Amino acid sequence: MGRKRRRIIKRAPKPLPKIFTCPVCSAFAVTVTHEPGSDKALVQCGSCKKSLEVPWYPAYSEVDAYSKWYDLVVKGEASVEAGKG
Smaller CB separation from Zn ion, 48 or 78: 48
25 binds Zn ion (CB under 5 A): yes
22 binds Zn ion (CB under 5 A): yes
73 binds Zn ion (CB under 5 A): no
Smaller CB separation from Zn ion, 6 or 79: 79
Residues in Cβ contact with 20 at an 8 Å cutoff, skipping those fewer than 6 apart: 28, 30, 31, 32, 62, 63, 66, 70
* Interface residue with Zn ion, options 45, 54, 65, 73 (CB under 5 A): 45
Instruction: Annotate 27-77 with three-state secondary structure.
Output: CEEEEEEECCCCCEEEEEECCCCCEEEEECCCCCCHHHHHHHHHHHHHHCC
Count the site residues for Zn ion by CB under 5 A: 7
* Interface residue with Zn ion, options 31, 33, 47, 51 (CB under 5 A): 47
